[in-house]
Amino acid sequence: MNKLLIVGTVAFDAIETPFGKTDKILGGAATYIGLASNFFNVDAAIVSVVGEDFPKEYLNLLENKKVNIEGIEIVKGGKTFFWSGKYHNDLNSRDTLITELNVLADFNPIVPEAYKNSDIVLLGNLHPMVQSGVLDQMTTKPKLIVLDTMNFWMDCALPELLDVIKRVDVITINDEEARQLSGEYSLVKAAAKIHAMGPKYVVIKKGEHGALLFQGKEVFFAPALPLEEVFDPTGAGDTFAGGFAGYITQSENISFENMKNAIIYGSNLASFCVEKFGTERMENLEKNEVNARLRQFKALTQFEIELEE
Amino acid sequence: MNKLLIVGTVAFDAIETPFGKTDKILGGAATYIGLASNFFNVDAAIVSVVGEDFPKEYLNLLENKKVNIEGIEIVKGGKTFFWSGKYHNDLNSRDTLITELNVLADFNPIVPEAYKNSDIVLLGNLHPMVQSGVLDQMTTKPKLIVLDTMNFWMDCALPELLDVIKRVDVITINDEEARQLSGEYSLVKAAAKIHAMGPKYVVIKKGEHGALLFQGKEVFFAPALPLEEVFDPTGAGDTFAGGFAGYITQSENISFENMKNAIIYGSNLASFCVEKFGTERMENLEKNEVNARLRQFKALTQFEIELEE
């Protein structure tokens, strides 16, 4: 079984959407990525940090989903990273209400010995120095390194972010962030500039409008599944990245053709994530539901036109 | 050869985008639809009205593109419909600066005798009373009636619009207009409500984010081609509708499966339309360019995942 190393936050979220609000619930990029990786035949492990206040049941949940949690440090007397946000009515934008870094402020990631030779590494959203720190610990060169990030790090740690971007094969980023990072409005031009920063593959996430995969002049598009209702977008981007990396890890194939399948899987899993608050839908999702939705994605996108010569 | 009857404006446009501005140039929904229909093996005719100020060369252009213009009334001493608009920096929204209805104000459409038995009718954007007036003149029931409209008519002629919507098979409408017409934010819910108003097929155009085709619970998605630069979006929606109707007319197949191909063709042609100001790109577009871009659409959307049982 191929190894997938996941780095990212394991956290508390408090979420408000037009449909309701939650107290502190389980959240964090690595949590969503780990839950997504469970749908693939992979040996996944999370590197992260939590405080002593983090419930044992949340860690058990991840273990029950076959995610190795050896690399999740528990800081004695520490408090877990907490994020609170409120979504606007269209669910496409949100305001951050609270960000308490807590134990994340001084996090020094330690990669478990058994995962220093992981096949695939997914650097989930975190300080770029932490992302780099994980790469420094790898004893063999991973077959593929995927990086997810956000505008926050462009604003406050751009040089460090550019350093780690240089070292990765794939970057996943949303449309507004791609524009900010590249200074280009056109996503085609933005992808070209981001290619030039290092990554061979650029994935631009457009939320309800799907995702684009670029490699040089080649481009592939995975739509989001049109849903009756999006309940809570939190974690959708991380779930997308987790589905992408999980599929690649399982299939051992890093060709552009196979990456097309991987972003379809990412889009598939993300379409479930948004159906309930927080991680609830992903915790209870069954493999047969994912397969059924894959049929929907085929019906949604595949067509038969004979090409004229 | 199957007959396609096109109703819509033939007009002057003056356009301003972040890339430049034009004087009065050739425009109008029926003009763009007619130019798009030229890429299919169909017998197309336009029903519209212009003033005496309308240049003969513009009419010649349409005739050279094999569009029958017998049904374009020229009003002696009249002035042609004129629209002027300015696009915002993101090109997704625009302000209307001038709307001079002129000869359009008292337009009574007359369908040429030879086209009263047309196979397909495309009711392009115009007053819904004019759209209904054209349907009243058909001597045989068309195989498919397609209606395109806009928010302007929802604001000022809603009862008449709802009357004509009842009579059509397909409605093409943009996302904001679908929301306005249905009162639903979710496009899946909006499509269901619009189905209930009459049309069996609902096409929701999302501009740079592609287009959705709904029939009951079935849905298909055609992306827009990611472009380095969108120069001028004017006419893209009409070109899309013209490509859709032109393909259906040529293929004589009104199944849902064939409509998937039709909206891919619509999206294909619209991707050219936006590359230059006004009708310029469509006037000079070659069939082999359209075929080459069809290959790009396939590469953009088609994938190979084996479904598990």
Q: What is the pLDDT of residues A84-123, one digit of tens each?
A: 999 998 888 889 999 999 999 999 999 999 999 999 999 9
The answer to whether the CB atoms of A304 and B261 lie below 8 A apart is: yes
Q: Which residues pair with A172 in a beta bridge?
A: A148, A203
Q: Determine which of A221, A265, A308, A309 to mutate to test the interface with B (most B C-beta atoms within 10 Å).
A: A221
The answer to whether the CB atoms of B307 and A299 lie below 8 A apart is: no
Q: Determine which of A91, A303, A304 to mutate to test the interface with B (most B C-beta atoms within 10 Å).
A: A303
Distances from the Cα of B277 to the Cαs of A250, B12, B91, B235, B283, in angstroms? Answer: 48, 13, 13, 10, 11
Tens place of pLDDT per residue across chain B (309 aa):
999 999 999 999 999 999 899 999 999 999 999 999 999 999 999 999 999 999 999 999 999 999 999 999 999 999 999 999 999 988 888 899 999 999 999 999 999 999 999 999 999 999 999 999 999 999 999 999 999 999 999 999 999 999 999 999 999 999 999 999 999 999 999 999 999 999 999 999 999 999 999 999 999 999 999 999 899 999 999 999 999 999 999 999 999 999 999 999 999 999 999 999 999 999 999 999 999 999 999 999 999 987 765
B307: which chain A residues are within 8 Å (Cβ-Cβ)?
291, 294-295, 298
The answer to whether the CB atoms of B260 and A303 lie below 8 A apart is: yes
Return all residues near A192 (Cβ < 8 A) that are at least 6 apart: A184, A214
Low-confidence ranges of chain A (pLDDT < 50): none
The shortest CB-CB distance from A189 to any of B206, B228, B264 is to B228
The answer to whether the CB atoms of A226 and B90 lie below 8 A apart is: no
Distance from the Cα of A211 to chain B's closest Cα (Å) equals 10
Q: Which of A275, A270, A216, A225 lies closest to A247, judged by CA?
A: A270
- Predicted local confidence at residue A10, as pLDDT: 98
| Rounded-to-10 torsion of CA B64, B66, B68, B74 | -20
Distances from the Cα of A23 to the Cαs of A171, A237, B22, B164, B262, in angstroms? Answer: 32, 22, 56, 50, 48
The shortest CB-CB distance from B226 to any of A219, A223, A226 is to A219
Nearest-angstrom CA–CA distance, A73 and B250: 65
B230: which chain A residues are within 8 Å (Cβ-Cβ)?
186
The answer to whether the CB atoms of A188 and B307 lie below 8 A apart is: no
Nearest-angstrom CA–CA distance, A307 and A153: 46
- Predicted local confidence at residue B309, as pLDDT: 53
- Predicted local confidence at residue A309, as pLDDT: 53
Interface size, chain A vs chain B, as Cβ–Cβ contacts under 8 Å: 96
The answer to whether the CB atoms of B300 and A188 lie below 8 A apart is: no
B226: which chain A residues are within 8 Å (Cβ-Cβ)?
187-188, 212, 219, 221
Q: Which residue of A has its CA nearest to B308?
A: A291
A90: which chain B residues are within 8 Å (Cβ-Cβ)?
185
B190: which chain A residues are within 8 Å (Cβ-Cβ)?
none
The shortest CB-CB distance from B303 to any of A186, A187, A264 is to A264
The shortest CB-CB distance from A228 to any of B189, B209, B307 is to B189
Q: Determine which of B39, B40, B176, B221 to mutate to test the interface with A (most A C-beta atoms within 10 Å).
A: B221
Return all residues near A64 (Cβ < 8 A) that are at least 6 apart: none
- Is the CB of residue B252 less than 8 Å from the CB of residue B266? no
- Predicted local confidence at residue A306, as pLDDT: 78
The shortest CB-CB distance from B187 to any of A188, A226, A304 is to A226
The answer to whether the CB atoms of A308 and B298 lie below 8 A apart is: no
Identity (one letter) of the amino acid at B258? N
Query: What are the structure tokens assigned to A86, written together?
Result: 């409120």
Domains of chain B: 3-301 (3.40.1190.20)
Query: What are the structure tokens assigned to A198, written together?
Result: 């290092």
